[in-house]
């Protein structure tokens, strides 16, 4: 009997792990009381998130803050719970609540700005951080980077300087009875400067280890880094991310001198402005990976702990490779039930981005923060829909945003709502928490069976093809040119063969992925694509070779339909039905070796994403009907009980309903 049909609740590893806002006067008894309440409601983990509203007596990384953190961590160990640490005093990550800049003023975040004339000494002196009423901090830290000529012949002066940028702080700076009290705003750090990031690592990560390292890898499973951005929370307009030596690195990354194209960063009427802007941003992303993500990832690996969190943008696929638990974030109602945003636009790609990165790189888990700043009008129905939206796309670690330590006074309205103990649905939370635990367990312990990949970029993911595939119950993963570059290297005879075309299987291998079809929604001018097309003879539409380069049109969709089998076949279309097919990891089906003694468990997961009930006669994958399989069971995700499924009657799914079939 497969474990998922045993009726037992999966281990605590698969529990939800909500953000826990520490946002008021902390008390040991109250911390223990709330943790017991979490566990009683099926929540076995949490992110300790120091948050605006802490008293002035508790500073970021102060002995008092660590005293309460140790209380929570040791209580979690006693209860069998687990913990994720958060690496910033609010957000975005990277500045240690201003301590990085306090250590060295040269570590302040920087930018590139442009002027249509050369700045005078008086103008340079006026460019202060925070406006004319604040002390100038920039008059000796601005330099002319380049003088360039626009396409229309006009000169342009490009300056490298500090930028007026901050992070949110932990303390209110005015009377808390005011509807919108002023907040601390510490200066943002230069995340493109490796020395600044090493300073961050010493201040935060080394301190975490010194104070709590005896719990690393056991009770403390990960450190969360939150939407780091080279411009921080920027209070200026018309500035570009940069640092003092950025053009040297842009040239190294792009392979050419970008200086003549700098005007394209500000002016849309420059030749190929959009393309040059994209290339500059991709180069910035690469440098950010080198200076920020990679050092933190290496530190965590050396200290036996996972780096998790999420980048600043929902389509940022490239930076996910540095995260041991790749993640993303649904925030500000960027994705909502029964609205186009569920299938259209950049945020609609985020769940698949995290799941794809984890799958191709062999990560054990992938996560999503969700429901932050959805407002007090958020309902339990919407919250459950958001989690289901993530789970059916492959997420296996849910991080609800957030459980509030306190909703006293103004705290209730700081990025609401509380989705945990102070919510209207808390008494009904346990059955849902158990259901998500079962679904996370299935996703984490089973590998997806899918033969379609959609080609995106490290900073840009298409969604039109994804929408059509999801509406037709066809699963897919995102890949980026870097995934294909390993193919280029293997075909050129250099390095270990990490990806390539397997002639015997007639499939493209990328990590554990096995693809017959790769969709290129937009044209890619990349060496990897040249190698793909040239060496794999993809021009023949009738070929059995994979099909990268399919233009996403009616013709392209027709070709995909001829080549790809949906997860389930239906007696009539159901555009709101999402489908996922997974097989137990380590089974012979996944390893493709008859020597494996592990018998595979096949699971089909169906979710009705729409507002209306649907009834369809379904046909499961052929593997469910082979003579070697056992009977098909339908799993109740809320109770863990299962019943035999014969398929004699149509399947009915209520709005937001699940059906899970196991054989």
Please give the pLDDT value at position 126: 59
Q: By C-alpha distance, which of 499, 659, 598, 472 is closest to 2?
A: 598
The token pair at 404 is: 């509030």
Residue 370, SS3?
strand
Least confident range from 53-67, 328-342, 451-465: namely 451-465
Residue 308, SS3?
strand
Please give the pLDDT value at position 589: 35
Q: Is 139's pLDDT higher than 60?
A: no
Better-scored residue on pLDDT, 552 or 347:
347
Q: Is 270's pLDDT higher than 80?
A: yes
E runs forming strands in 82-135: 82-86, 110-115
Segment 327-338 shows an average pLDDT of 95
Q: By C-alpha distance, which of 435, 367, 364 is closest to 395?
A: 367
Confidence of residue 581 (pLDDT cuts 50, 70, 90): very high
For every residue of 375-422, DSSP letters joined together read -TT--HHHHHHHHHHHHTTT--EEEES-EES---GGGGGSS----STT
Q: Is 495's pLDDT higher than 80?
A: no
Segment 320-347 shows an average pLDDT of 95
Please give the pLDDT value at position 539: 38
Please give the pLDDT value at position 420: 96
Least confident range from 172-181, 212-221, 574-583, 607-616: namely 172-181
The token pair at 549 is: 């380069």
Better-scored residue on pLDDT, 415 or 139:
415
Confidence of residue 178 (pLDDT cuts 50, 70, 90): confident
Q: Within a 13 Å sphere around the CA of 365, how many CA atoms are in the beta-carbon half?
A: 23
Highest mean pLDDT among 65-74, 529-538, 593-602, 637-646: 65-74
Segment 240-264 shows an average pLDDT of 96
Segment 204-218 shows an average pLDDT of 98
Helical ranges in 234-349 per DSSP H: 246-254, 273-288, 294-302
Q: Is 382's pLDDT higher than 60?
A: yes
The token pair at 375 is: 């407002």
Segment 455-479 shows an average pLDDT of 93
Confidence of residue 175 (pLDDT cuts 50, 70, 90): confident
Better-scored residue on pLDDT, 473 or 483:
473
Better-scored residue on pLDDT, 454 or 628:
454
Confidence of residue 659 (pLDDT cuts 50, 70, 90): very high
Longest pairwise C-alpha distance within the chain: 84
Please give the pLDDT value at position 588: 39
Please give the pLDDT value at position 492: 45
Query: How wide is the angle at C-alpha 171 spanned by C-alphas 165 and 176, nearest 5°?
Result: 120
The token pair at 4 is: 């998922």
The token pair at 638 is: 């809320």
Q: Within a 13 Å sphere around the CA of 260, how many CA atoms are in the beta-carbon half?
A: 6
Please give the pLDDT value at position 367: 97
Mean pLDDT, the chain, integer: 88
Rounded Cα distance, 186 and 204, in Å: 16
Instruction: Tell me the angle at which helices 246-254 and 273-288 cross, rounded to the nearest 10 degrees.
Output: 110
Sequence-distant (≥ 6) Cβ neighbours of residue 180 within 8 angstroms: none
The token pair at 14 is: 């698969």
Please give the pLDDT value at position 562: 83
Segment 277-297 shows an average pLDDT of 96
Please give the pLDDT value at position 552: 61
Confidence of residue 605 (pLDDT cuts 50, 70, 90): very high
Segment 64-80 shows an average pLDDT of 98
Sequence-distant (≥ 6) Cβ neighbours of residue 555 within 8 angstroms: none
Q: Is 660's pLDDT higher than 90?
A: yes
Q: Let me know if 90 is exposed, middle or buried by CB neighbors in 10 A (0-12, 13-18, 19+).
A: buried
Segment 139-160 shows an average pLDDT of 90
Rounded Cα distance, 429 and 384, in Å: 10
| Residue percentage of the chain with pLDDT more than 90 | 74
Better-scored residue on pLDDT, 140 or 249:
249
Better-scored residue on pLDDT, 301 or 553:
301
Rounded Cα distance, 319 and 321, in Å: 5
Q: Is 542's pLDDT higher than 60?
A: no
Least confident range from 103-112, 481-490, 557-566, 646-655: namely 481-490
Please give the pLDDT value at position 627: 58
Q: Is 75's pLDDT higher than 90?
A: yes
Rounded Cα distance, 292 and 197, in Å: 6
Q: Is 138's pLDDT higher than 60?
A: no
Residue 47 near residue 93 (C-beta atoms within 8 A): no
The token pair at 646 is: 């014969």
Segment 254-270 shows an average pLDDT of 96
| 114 bridge partner residues | 158
Please give the pLDDT value at position 547: 42
Q: Is 537's pLDDT higher than 60?
A: no
Confidence of residue 128 (pLDDT cuts 50, 70, 90): low
The alpha carbon dihedral of 186, 187, 192, 194 has a sign of: negative
- CB atoms inside a 10 Å sphere around CB 153: 6
Helix or strand (DSSP H, E) at 331: strand 327-331
Least confident range from 18-27, 56-65, 393-402, 490-499: namely 490-499
Segment 311-318 shows an average pLDDT of 91
E runs forming strands in 128-258: 142-149, 155-162, 165-166, 220-226, 233-234, 240-242
Segment 418-440 shows an average pLDDT of 97
Confidence of residue 104 (pLDDT cuts 50, 70, 90): very high
Segment 477-484 shows an average pLDDT of 85
- pTM of the predicted model, to two decimals? 0.91
Rounded Cα distance, 426 and 192, in Å: 43
Residue 471, SS3?
helix
Kindly provide the b/e burial profile for residues 613-624, where b requires at least 16 CB atoms within 10 angstroms of the residue's own CB.
Answer: ebebebebbebb
């Amino acid at each position: 009997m497969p474990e998922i049909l045993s009726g037992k609740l999966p281990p605590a590893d698969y529990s939800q792990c909500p953000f826990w806002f520490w946002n008021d006067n902390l008390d040991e008894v109250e911390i223990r009381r709330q943790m017991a309440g979490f566990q009683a409601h099926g929540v076995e983990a949490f992110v300790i998130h120091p948050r605006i509203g802490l008293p002035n007596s508790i500073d970021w990384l102060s002995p008092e803050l660590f005293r309460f953190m140790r209380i929570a961590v040791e209580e979690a160990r006693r209860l069998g719970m687990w913990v994720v640490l958060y690496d910033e005093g609010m957000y975005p990550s990277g500045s240690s609540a201003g301590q990085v800049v306090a250590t060295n003023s040269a570590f302040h975040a920087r930018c590139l700005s442009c002027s249509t004339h050369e700045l005078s000494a008086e103008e340079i002196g006026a460019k202060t951080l925070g406006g004319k009423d604040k002390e100038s901090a920039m008059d000796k830290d601005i330099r002319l980077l380049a003088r360039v000529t626009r396409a229309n012949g006009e000169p342009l002066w490009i300056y490298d300087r500090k930028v007026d940028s901050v992070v949110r702080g932990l303390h209110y700076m005015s009377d808390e009875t005011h509807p919108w009290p002023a907040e601390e705003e510490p200066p943002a750090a230069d995340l493109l400067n490796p020395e600044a990031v090493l300073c961050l690592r010493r201040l935060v990560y080394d301190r975490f280890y010194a104070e709590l390292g005896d719990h690393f890898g056991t009770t403390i499973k990960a450190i969360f880094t939150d939407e780091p951005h080279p411009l921080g929370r920027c209070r200026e307009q018309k500035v570009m991310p940069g640092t003092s030596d950025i053009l040297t690195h842009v040239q190294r990354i792009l392979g050419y001198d970008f200086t003549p194209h700098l005007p394209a960063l500000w002016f849309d009427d420059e030749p190929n402005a959009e393309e040059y802007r994209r290339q500059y941003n991709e180069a910035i992303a690469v440098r950010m990976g080198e200076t920020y993500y990679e050092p933190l990832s290496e530190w965590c690996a050396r200290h036996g702990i996972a780096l998790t969190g999420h980048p600043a943008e929902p389509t940022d696929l490239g930076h996910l490779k540095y995260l041991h638990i790749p993640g993303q974030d649904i925030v500000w109602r960027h994705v909502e039930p029964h609205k186009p945003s569920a299938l259209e636009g950049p945020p609609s790609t985020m769940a698949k981005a995290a799941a794809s990165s984890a799958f191709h790189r062999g990560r054990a888990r992938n996560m999503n923060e969700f429901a932050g700043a959805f407002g007090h009008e958020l309902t339990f129905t919407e919250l459950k829909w958001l989690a289901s939206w993530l789970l059916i796309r492959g997420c296996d670690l849910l991080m609800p945003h957030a459980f509030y330590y306190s909703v006293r006074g103004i705290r209730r309205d700081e990025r609401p709502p509380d989705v945990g103990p102070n919510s209207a649905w808390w008494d009904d939370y346990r059955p849902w928490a158990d259901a998500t635990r079962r679904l996370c367990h299935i996703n984490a312990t089973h590998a997806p069976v899918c033969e379609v990949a959609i080609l995106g970029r490290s900073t840009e993911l298409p969604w039109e093809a994804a929408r059509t595939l999801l509406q037709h119950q066809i699963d897919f993963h995102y890949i980026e040119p870097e995934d294909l570059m390993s193919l280029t290297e293997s075909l050129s005879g250099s390095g270990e063969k990490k990806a390539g075309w397997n002639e015997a299987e007639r499939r493209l291998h990328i990590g554990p992925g096995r693809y017959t079809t790769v969709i290129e929604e937009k044209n890619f001018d990349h060496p990897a694509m040249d190698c793909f097309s040239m060496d794999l003879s993809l021009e023949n539409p009738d070929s059995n070779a994979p099909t990268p380069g399919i233009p996403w049109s009616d013709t392209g969709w027709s070709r995909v339909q001829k080549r790809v089998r949906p997860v389930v076949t239906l007696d009539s279309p159901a555009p709101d039905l999402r489908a996922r097919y997974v097989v137990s990891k380590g089974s012979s089906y996944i390893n493709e070796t008859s020597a494996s003694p592990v018998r595979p468990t096949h699971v089909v997961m169906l979710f009705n994403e729409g507002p209306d009930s649907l009834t369809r006669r379904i046909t499961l994958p052929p593997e469910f009907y082979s003579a070697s399989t056992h009977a098909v069971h339908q799993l109740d995700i809320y109770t863990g009980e299962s019943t035999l499924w014969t398929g004699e009657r149509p399947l009915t799914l209520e709005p937001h309903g699940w059906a899970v079939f196991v054989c």
